[in-house]
Amino acid sequence: MGDEAETSRTASSDGPACRADTVWLRGPFGTARFKVAVADDAQARAQGLMNVESMPSSTGMLFVYEYPRPVSFWMKNTLIPLDMVFADAEGVVTSVHENAVPLDETSIPGEGMVQYVLEINGGLARQIGIGPGSVLRHPAITDGAWPCQ
């Protein structure tokens, strides 16, 4: 992958291949791909992207919860601005918080019942066109609106 988030205007009807280290997004913009680390347990979710000094724009972190729930994040010990993409049990984006401020301890809640959160570099969600209604695709999203085959 290059230095920019990879986007495409086309995808097969089945969609791109699912991999544990990759999240795909689909929306009016086409598709976008991010290489991700997965935080799927309490310890990994608590650590998140704290103390990361830089991150290529084609990468991020996917937070996976066992079931949909109200969630909120903060930026304590997080050194780079982030966009937080909140999604429901089907991987449908419910809200996006843009450009979370590094080191800020203000709570950033997702809207509705959230099961997945994708963190990417601040400003990318708007640049790409990721917003409510966009859909995530990843093997952890077992009942997805854009399921892995």
Q: Which one-letter amino acid corresponds to residue 125?
A: A
1 lies in some domain: no
Domain count, the chain: 1
Q: What is the pTM of this model?
A: 0.91
What is the rounded distance in angstroms from the CA atom of residue 88 to the CA atom of residue 14? 21
Query: Can you give the pLDDT at residue 119?
Result: 98
144 lies in some domain: no
129 lies in some domain: yes
Per-residue pLDDT tens digits for 37-78: 999 999 999 999 999 999 999 999 999 999 999 999 999 999
At 125, give phi and psi (nearest 5°): -60, -45
Both tokens of 26, joined, read 């689909």
With 80 as the cut, is the pLDDT of residue 12 above it?
Answer: no
What domain range includes position 44? 6-137
pLDDT band at 11 (very low <50, low <70, confident <90, very high): very low
Beta-bridged to residue 119, according to DSSP, are 61, 84
Per-residue pLDDT tens digits for 85-141: 999 999 999 999 999 999 999 999 999 999 999 999 999 999 999 999 999 999 999
Task: Decide: helix, strand or coil at residue 129.
Answer: coil
Is the separation of the CB atoms in 73 and 86 below 8 Å? no
With 70 as the cut, is the pLDDT of residue 3 above it?
Answer: no
117 lies in some domain: yes
142 lies in some domain: no
Q: Which one-letter amino acid corresponds to residue 108?
A: I
Query: Can you give the pLDDT at residue 50?
Result: 96
145 lies in some domain: no
Task: Decide: helix, strand or coil at residue 12.
Answer: coil
- Could you tell me how many helices (H) and strands (E) the chain has, helices first? 2, 10
CATH of the domain at 132: 2.60.120.1140
With 60 as the cut, is the pLDDT of residue 2 above it?
Answer: no
Residue 117: closest CA among 2, 23, 6: 23
146 lies in some domain: no
35 lies in some domain: yes
